[in-house]
Each structure stands twice: as C-alpha cells, then as structure tokens.
Structure 1
C-alpha cells in the first residue's frame, strides 16, 4: 500500500481523478489543472499465473479501486472533483452479465491460452487485418473472447467486458461504452470506427456480446450514488472514456509531438510513440491506437520487464543490488528477461523462454545482467520501429516503476545511445487526469497548462561499446533460436554501425 499527499494551493480549486489499473496495483491520483498531484493512493492486486495462464479476480479490481479512491478523496477534502478517467491493461477481458456480475475470471493482457483461436481469427479476418496493418495474437482480446465463449456459451445476458469498461460500469452502476483504445485488441476497426460485423459473424460471436465503443475523451456516464458511497467520489462526477495504460503513460509523460516516444518500464516493457500516419507491420506486433487529437499512437508491449526481478530476486534488497552493480565494470553477460513464457514485441515467439548468455559471478552480476537484458530489448524495439519507417529520433521519455532506478535508466540511455527524460508524476494515472480534464476543453489546451518536472539522464559513453557488443550477442542468440526474424537481425546489426 502506498499513499501520498501534497499541500493544496487553494481549497476550492477543482481536481480531476486519474485511475490506473495495473498488473500489481490500482492507483488513484487527484491532479489540478497544472498536473500537480494533490493526493494519491494505491492498493495492491494479486495474480494467478500458471504456464500460459494469467488471471485476476475482477472483484479484487473493484475492491482495490474503492480503497485507493477512498484514501485519495480523504485528502482531496472540499475541492470539487470535475471528472475522472480510467486506464487499464490492454487486452484484459472477462465475460459478465448485464448487471455487471462476472461470469469468468479476468484473463490478463499476457494470458496466451487462445493460440488456436488466434490462428482462426487471423484466417477469418485476413483481409481486415491486412487493411488495418496488424493481426491478432494469442494474448489479444479477440482470441480470448472466442476461448471464453467455448468455455462459457453465451446467453442473451452475456457481455464481453474489458477491464476498463467493467470498472467504469461499476462506477456508473450500469453498463458503459468502452473506449476505442481498449477495444483495438478485440478487433475494433479504427478506420471505420465500428465493429467489423462480417468478421464478428464469421467467427460465431453472438450479436450483442460486444460493447458500444466511443473515442477516448468522450463522456460515458456519471458516478452513481452507490459507487459514491463506496469510493468517496461525489455522485454525479463525469466519467470520461480513457485509454490503455501505455497510451495513458504517453499522455502523462508529455508525448504529443510526432516522432516523440515514451517507454513504460513496469511489470513489462511498453513503448508508445506519435506518428502522423498509421504504421503497417507485416509481423503484426506493432499496432496503432488513435490519439484524441487525430494522430496515431503506434507501439507494442514486450513480455520482458521489471516483473522478472520479483521472480528472480524476490527476497533480496534491490536497492543494495543496484548500488553494488553500479560500482562494477559493465560486462556483456546478459539475461533475456521474460516475465512469462512467450514474446509479443518486437517479435512474436510463443515458445520463447528466459535464458542467460555468459556466467554471472554472483547475485550482483545476475541482477545487472537482467537490467541490461531489458535495456537491450528496448533497443531492439526501436530498431524494429526504425525498420518499419517510424520517426524515432524525437524526444524519449520513460515512466513506470523501473524508471525510478537511476542506475538502470543510465544503462538504458547508454544502450540506446540517447538521453532519457524522466518526468515526475508522469504515470498513467496522471495521463488519465489530463484526459479527464480535456473533456472540458481540448487535449492540446489541457496539455499546455500541464507543468512537468523532469530529469534528463545522459548516456555514459565509456560503456557504450561493451553494451553494443552485449546487445548484438543477444540479437544473434535470439536469431539462432529461431525467434528473431533475419530482416530485423540484419537491421539491428547495420543500425549499430551508424
């Protein structure tokens, strides 16, 4: 549990709430019009992982949300709450009835049991996926829906709910629309702004199972009396359609200009950038959300990230390991740090597993090898984006829990060969507070008033060559295992010589 509070600048100034439903916690922030966090609180979540299975209990999402909101609101005091918006993990879904009673557990963003259903969806909707520039993966919501419907045949009351619209529905006391950002992995056509009814019908998805979809930033309801009592959020507070956690982090970090990018280093590694056109990816691992201002937000989510640290070093003092690692020379020993089996970005490899190249001398070396591994995968993501023709030379910000580790951020900056900007409080919840505020004006106007306190971490040039050597060693190893396509392998090598 974490809580924090900041001295208010005026007790009658309005605030906007941003809610972030992550893998390990639910966070609620109250921010004023400048983006200053007036109050915040978080409550933990628990997962059940087993092989390709990753589930959470939807009731736990709601109980953690009500507790985090209640604590935040106790600090907000008499300030009026002008609106709220919510982000959640991309591709996390469940089946529920029309009264919001869950019929299944929540299948999380990286649950990969729907491999057969994904192959079927790719085949049935081949023409659509080619036009949209991506195709469903086993961890996406559309194959999961097909899998869930096989286990739980639909009735007239059955509804697919994303993690986001399940919780906005609970806040409103009724079913609400889902935003197009969360609907993307369920097969929503962002060009036509509609469900592709022909593909949906061919897949055997019953009519009425899919929710209404609106653009991010659209009002979708108000907090009902029962939810006001549970959360402390005033009844009647506007609920604004949000975006996925990766998009929310990009908003919170100030990633608005074409060519700018944000990396979220949390349980997993998520990249999101801004382009003026949608990228078309032949591998289907990069997908583009539609930004509220009309630009595109391409990116992807890897299965590597800080979540592996609790698995490998759960009983260790990570601050101590960081201090000791920072005092040692950089080496090429590296761990490919998958949090769970299978990779999603920058390549698709359902059978990919964690491995280490070289032999760590001790726990400190093993820890540093994991940090380098995440940095190298981040570099590989940008190499792939460059291969697709995306502009990648703009500003680069980083958010998430891993970004608070200065040593790790320096390793990443050095591996990437470019500065990394770390904004304070630029987490997904702050991005959602910004989006909630934009419903009263525009995203551009709301963003102009946001004041961001940032730190820039420069590359350490003395370590650049050894990190590049380690990076290329990992690239070759991924290729030799048959996971990394030859074209990307060659591009990564060629780009390292520029």
Structure 2
C-alpha cells in the first residue's frame, strides 16, 4: 500500500527593502534559512535642497524577482510558504493615485526638502511630541507627506505610502494598513493610538490621506493571484505587517522581551532595548518605537562606533588586535569621536573627541579606541537605566564590530556582563519572525525564542582587566562631565 506524500514543512518569508537591494529569506519554524535571494535597486539620486529620490516603480519588480528566486529554490517551489512580511527603511514615502500607482519618485528617508514643514509640525504638536519623547527633525517623513500634497495637489494624491504599504498593495491586490513602526516618523502617535491631527491641520494635510494603522505582525490580507504568479508565493498565504529595518534587525537578534538590549556596532554605535513603559527622555537622545506586543523599543544612535577605526588600514586590524590583546588595558583614554557633535547617549553640538595621556605605540592607541567605544556603550546603558529601563541578562551584540574577539571581550569587561554575539541580526530575518508570529508560532516572543535559539556565542568579562578598565571609565566619564556634556 503506497503512502501519501508528506506535506511540505511550512516556512515564512521575510523581505527587506534596503537602499541598494531587496533581500528575501525563507525560514522554517526552527529558524533555519531554507532559501534566500536578492535583487538590486537603482541608486537614489540627490538634488538641491537635500533632496534624495529613488524610482519607486523599481521596488515591486525587484521584490518579485527576489521572491521568484527564493521560492524557486525551496523543495516544493514555494507551496510551503504560509506568511510573508516586509521591512524597509524608516521614513521613505511615495505619493500615489487612487489605484496605488506612484505619481513620482519615492522621497527617501534622508531627504531634507521638507525641513521647514517639519519645523512647523514640531511647533504645532510640541505637547504631543514631548509626551512621546520624539523630535520632528529635518528629515522626518511627516513634512515630506505634506510636501507631496503641495507638489502634486490634494486632488491627485490619494495615498502617501511607505515602502511596505506599496508592496503590500501589490501582494494583496489592494490597500493595506500601515504598521505603527513605519508610521512613527510620518506623524503617527503610538502612545495615543492615532495620528497627530494638530500637526497635519497646521500643514493643511487632509485627514482622509492618513491610512489605517495596526501593530506589526497583524494580518493585512492574503497573496492575490497576480502576485502569486509573479512571485512563486502560494495564492492565499498570509501577508503580515512588518517593521522598519532597524526594529526588524533588533527582533532578529532575539532581543524582544523587557530588559533585553542589543548593541549594534557598525560604522556608528546603536543601542536598542525593550521596555514595559515608554521612557521619556527630555534631552531627545533616546526615542522609542512601539513593540508589536504593546511594549516599547527605546534606543539611540551615537556619532561614534566602528568609525573610530576608519583611518586604520583594514589589513592591519588583525595585527593591531593581537598586539593590543597581548598588551592589556590601554595606558591612555580616548573618546574616539571623528566628527563634531554627539547625539547619543547625550546630545551636544559641542562634543569633540579627546585623548587623555600619550599612547606608547599604535597598538596602545588602537586598544584605547576600542575601550573608548566600550565606555560609550556603558554610558548608553547607564542612560537607559536612569530613564527607568535597566538592562537584564547578557547584552546581545551585532554589527561588523562584533566580529572582533578582542573588542567583544573589552565590551563584556567594561559592562561587567556577558555579550551574546548573534549571527543573523538581519532585517529580512526579523521580518520573517513577524511573519511567523501567529502562523508558525503563537506570538512574537515564542517565535523569537524558538527561531533564534542556539545561534551565536557568549563572551564573558575578563576579570583580571576589570579594575584597570573601571579606572579608565571613571576618567572617561569625568572628562565629559568637566566639559559640561553630561
């Protein structure tokens, strides 16, 4: 008697639309990546007044192409996909007509053309922004939304869509809700659960233009037949709301429960955590996204980080790491800020890098720079604790800097807590976790715990070096206090 063929093991799909490319990952319930693919995007074009644009018409063809390659590599050709979610850059917008077709290019996340409109929005909604702990800066999407109405006309602009909103339209065949992560910089108040109407009234933006907003991970529709033909996704599979690339990257580390934090050491240093209550930072150094489960995701981005080593020949870094590891704690103290001004964990336009003492050699200076970034990380966690959000357990570590074993050991020692170095802190993987929430797993916490379990490795503090590093940190912090930055 012949046996019936086994049903394919279900997978979810995470899509990340970055500036240069679309990336797709197909992940099973245990977190194994079953297939992945990418497709390039045209480079953004820059213009006068800080304008930065990209052809929004390229997003769907690139996404469909990457999906076809990924689903085609699955054992059952994509039939096993049960859900999909999209992550993208925060604040990128495109105006469309009633049919969802772009009226012009997308205005990118760093486009500054609406700086004056954002200033007016900041003033009009100042009481709201203060409660939310948010500042409407020159590149906020709120002002660009109003700019689109002015540039194309209120009668022509029927929607202003974030990147995932446009892709959701293609996937489902109709408009979808915006997630509250992508909507944050467009003027949505996740604390109050509504749009900042006073700011939009001040900018003459029709309320009908503002979309429905829902939590990340919410089911927003199903894949329609045309999208299924173009992508290899099965018709009828669930389309779930995603989050911004930074938030999705945090989820991918597994840091999704209150008290958990991740330190991302790339060109700059970024700290992100989970809090039960919204922390209000009067200085503006820390701002918060809303967690899919209703908690908060406070964080901030420094102006230093891996950039501290930018002047060093990459080929020399392994040699310098080895020499610095053998030497031990540095004889001098640095704040390796290579530009003017700091934005996190404190805000100061007067901040400048400094060097206390004279390094014995290049290895000593290299070690001091690594320690300086670790000191900034400790200062950041202390700032979070002062706001009522203490970190618990190991610090999750991601970014290019976390590939340095020496740097990880220094960070663990300075922080006096283990570092859990994660392997796939990728936005597409984080989007897959959101797709798995409510489909492969009961909720996001379960999805993250299951799908990131057993990945990465732990780095413990070097107890023999703690006294010296604590003394250097005291000098580091004292110098900042004496300069009036803290």
TM over 0.5: yes
Given that 2:334 and 2:476 are in contact with CA atoms closer than 8 Å, whether structure 1 keeps it comes out as no
Find the aligned partners of 2:438 and 2:371 in 1 and give their Cα distance: 41
Query: What is the match of residue 458 of structure 1?
Result: 460
Query: What is the match of residue 320 of structure 2?
Result: 324
Query: What is the match of residue 211 of structure 2?
Result: 211
Of 52, 56, 60, 1:55 maps to 52
TM-score after normalising by structure 1: 0.79
Number of residue pairs matched?
A: 467
Query: What is the match of residue 432 of structure 2?
Result: 433
In structure 1, runs of 5+ residues without a counterpart are 1-9, 490-498
Find the aligned partners of 1:458 and 1:278 in 2 and give their Cα distance: 31
Matched residue SS, 1:30: strand
Find the aligned partners of 1:61 and 1:113 in 2 and give their Cα distance: 22
Cα deviation code 1:4-45 (max 9, x no counterpart): xxxxxx881010011233456543211111112222234566
Cα deviation code 1:422-461 (max 9, x no counterpart): 2333433222212211123333443454333230112334
Matched residue SS, 1:168: helix
In structure 2, runs of 5+ residues without a counterpart are 1-5
In the superposition, relative to structure 1, how do residues 250 and 480 fare at CA in structure 2: closer, same or farther (>3 Å)?
A: same
Matched residue SS, 1:165: helix
In the superposition, relative to structure 1, how do residues 473 and 174 fare at CA in structure 2: closer, same or farther (>3 Å)?
A: farther
Find the aligned partners of 2:337 and 2:262 in 1 and give their Cα distance: 22
In the superposition, relative to structure 1, how do residues 165 and 322 fare at CA in structure 2: closer, same or farther (>3 Å)?
A: farther
In the TM superposition, what is the alpha-carbon distance from 1:390 to its structure 2 partner? 1.3
Cα deviation code 1:377-434 (max 9, x no counterpart): 3333212212212122333212344433433333332333321102333433222212
In the TM superposition, what is the alpha-carbon distance from 1:289 to its structure 2 partner? 2.7
Find the aligned partners of 1:226 and 1:274 in 2 and give their Cα distance: 39
Which of these two proteins has the greater Rg computed from alpha carbons? 2
Query: What is the match of residue 16 of structure 1?
Result: 12
Query: What is the match of residue 71 of structure 1?
Result: 69
In the TM superposition, what is the alpha-carbon distance from 1:191 to its structure 2 partner? 3.1
Given that 1:398 and 1:422 are in contact with CA atoms closer than 8 Å, whether structure 2 keeps it comes out as yes
Q: Which deviates more from structure 2 when the two are superposed, residues 209-218 or residues 402-411?
A: 402-411
Cα deviation code 1:185-211 (max 9, x no counterpart): 222122332213233212322333332
TM-score after normalising by structure 2: 0.81
Query: What is the match of residue 33 of structure 2?
Result: 37
In the TM superposition, what is the alpha-carbon distance from 1:84 to its structure 2 partner? 0.9
Cα deviation code 1:71-95 (max 9, x no counterpart): 3223223051010112223333343
Query: What is the match of residue 103 of structure 1?
Result: 104
Find the aligned partners of 1:158 and 1:306 in 2 and give their Cα distance: 43
Query: What is the match of residue 3 of structure 2?
Result: none
Given that 1:400 and 1:427 are in contact with CA atoms closer than 8 Å, whether structure 2 keeps it comes out as no
In the superposition, relative to structure 1, how do residues 144 and 382 fare at CA in structure 2: closer, same or farther (>3 Å)?
A: farther
Find the aligned partners of 1:452 and 1:400 in 2 and give their Cα distance: 19
Is 1:419 aligned to residue 418 of structure 2?
Answer: yes
Matched residue SS, 1:76: coil
Query: What is the match of residue 86 of structure 1?
Result: 86
In the superposition, relative to structure 1, how do residues 278 and 192 fare at CA in structure 2: closer, same or farther (>3 Å)?
A: same
Given that 1:336 and 1:374 are in contact with CA atoms closer than 8 Å, whether structure 2 keeps it comes out as no
Query: What is the match of residue 494 of structure 1?
Result: none
Query: What is the match of residue 129 of structure 1?
Result: 129
Find the aligned partners of 1:113 and 1:405 in 2 and give their Cα distance: 39
In the superposition, relative to structure 1, how do residues 446 and 377 fare at CA in structure 2: closer, same or farther (>3 Å)?
A: same
